[in-house]
Amino acid sequence: MTTVADTASGLRSIPRSGIREIANLALTIPGAIRLEVGQPDFRTPDHIVAAAKRALDEGWHGYTPTAGLPSLRERLAGKLRRVNGIDAPPERIVCGVGGVGVISSAVAALVDAGDEVLVPDPGWSNYRLMLAAVHARAIPYPCPPDLGFLPDLDRLEALVTPRTKLLLVNSPNNPSGRVYEPELLRRVGEIAGRHGLWVVSDECYDQIVFDGSPVAPGMVHHADAERVVSCFTFSKTYAMTGWRLGYATGPAPVVDSMIKAIEGSASGTTTMVQKAAEVALDGPQDRVAEMVAAYQRRRDLAVELLREAGLLTVVPEGAFYVLADVSPARLGALELAKRLLAERRVAVAPGTAFGTVAAEAVRISLASSDDDLREGVGQLCDLVNGLRR
């Protein structure tokens, strides 16, 4: 008889995501307001959808090279140069199954069992799953509220040991929405350089930046570029979450190992999605600007409501999330999230899903409609302040 003890110890030790726990509960509550998942409420732009249909009609049904279509990688080289200031030839670009696919392949390419990897706290919970799968050890580095959820660099450097192999950086950040300024990235790069660390830079929200900034500053310019892997995705920029296409660039030997990791797990990415992605890059970008403007408008709405209720932690500068302080409720973040869902039919992500630093906060997604956001944040503020009283 198979028991839990028969499964791989690395993944067995990692709890299920608190985000998914709330999301699964929300599915059982008709009419629940969904503010817990980063799922844009926008449709993928019509010209991208039409391109996918056209690709199927034209017979793009077979395998592609594991790294992706050469024609797509050429276009990605242009995008990286034009938007991100990264000069990477097509042969140093690899496509994967979403941003998570390329980040996890970078981890697989760089990390051995027993290595230590510095991950942000709070940070995306999937990082810990990736590391558990390769039997590496996640070492959280604090990004505390008193620093506006930016990294505490002194404490980060103090965590480096002879076993530390890799530093994971995420800007614009999930869950805080902070965008790391160039000076901060420069200092992070210096730490990595002093200790000979690899850097995996999660830049999946690179084009969702507010207050007039066209793109978030990337890590590659602030560290030894020969030890940086930069990861991106179509999911957020083009509202293509379900299409599952990400891409990354890094040094040639690392990219080669990433291709092997992808070949062993997925063989490659969906062909017609790659053809649609070419049109996303070639076509008009006005819908991207419209979506970013909507996220900024919603950011301003949520910030105003939270500030008025005394629950604002920090004003996000990018991505599409905001952290709300729920400590006045005197409940754990997960318990508060469950109560909000049960009593007010509003789903938010508990801060505990992202580590320990945000244990008294919840993450609110700005990817829902203005009306849902206004109602959901209002219900959250009312519940927390009612419990405070």
> Domain boundaries in the chain?
4-44+286-388, 62-282
CA 55 to chain centre: 29
- Placement of tokens 């049109």 in the chain: 279
Instruction: Tell me which architecture the domain covering 62-282 has in CATH.
Output: 3-Layer(aba) Sandwich (3.40)
DSSP result, 176-232: T-----HHHHHHHHHHHHHHT-EEEEE-TTTT-B-TT-SSPPPGGGGS-GGGEEEEE
Tell me the mean pLDDT per 10 residues along the chain, length 389.
72 79 94 94 97 98 98 98 97 98 98 98 96 96 97 98 98 98 98 98 98 92 96 98 98 98 96 98 97 98 98 98 97 95 97 96 96 98 92
Q: What is the pTM of this model?
A: 0.96
**What pLDDT was estimated at residue 4?**
65
Burial of 97-121, coded b for 16+ CB within 10 Å and e otherwise, reads bbbbbbbbbbbbbbbeeebbbbbbb
The terminus-to-terminus CA distance of the chain in angstroms comes to 53
Give the C-alpha separation, 281 to 273, whole Å: 12
Q: How far from chain centre, in Å, is Cα 223?
A: 21
Name which of 159, 154, 144 is nearest 354 in CA terms.
144
Q: What is the distance between the alpha carbons of residues 226 and 282, in angstroms, rounded to a whole number?
A: 29
Cα Rg, the chain, nearest whole Å: 21
CATH code given to domain 4-44+286-388: 3.90.1150.10
Query: Around 262, how many Cα atoms within 13 Å sit in the side-chain half-sphere?
Result: 31
Residue 159, C-beta contacts closer than 8 angstroms, at least 6 positions apart: 118, 139, 141
For residue 11, the model assigns a pLDDT of: 79
Phi and psi based region of residue 100 (left: phi greater than 0; alpha: psi -120 to 50; beta: remaining): alpha
**C-alpha span between 141 and 137 (Å, rounded):** 13
Closest CA to 290 of 37, 39, 41, 36: 41
For 384, half-sphere exposure in the C-beta direction (CA atoms, 13 angstrom radius) is 26
Q: Looking up tokens 């980040």, which residue turns up?
A: 103
Q: Whose structure tokens read 């991950």?
A: 119
Nearest to 292 by CA among 325, 319, 313, 321: 319
Report yes or no: 353 and 16 within 8 Å, Cβ to Cβ: no
97/118 Cα distance (integer angstroms): 24
Angle between helices 46-57 and 271-282 (to 10 degrees): 140
d(CA 39, CA 163): 37
Backbone phi and psi for residue 190, each to the nearest 5 degrees, phi listed first: -65, -40
CA distance 356 to 332: 11
